[in-house]
Amino acid sequence: MSDAQIGLLTATPIIILFAAALRRMGVLSAVATASAVGLSVAIAFVLFVTQ
């Protein structure tokens, strides 16, 4: 596993937790939170596979 893949496995959960925290504070709507989580997972998957 390369350093880039380890970085993706580290950064993606942090992004998800940050989106959840923003949702809890009322900054993001449910749709925006789901979009942020879904897109970050999709981007991480594509980058992980292509590394």
Q: Which two tokens stand for residue 50?
A: 């292509």
- Mean pLDDT over 9-35 rounds to 96
Is the Cβ–Cβ distance between 51 and 7 less than 8 Å?
A: no
Q: Which residue has the tokens 């981007």?
A: 43
Q: What is the mean pLDDT of the chain?
A: 94
Q: Which two tokens stand for residue 26?
A: 């009322």
- Is pLDDT at 51 greater than 90 in this prediction? no
- What CA–CA distance (Å, rounded) separates 1 from 14? 20
- Is pLDDT at 41 greater than 90 in this prediction? yes
Write the DSSP assignment of 2-39 as a string of letters.
Answer: -HHHHHHHHHHHHHHHHHHHHHHHTSS-HHHHHHHHHH
User: pTM here?
Assistant: 0.85
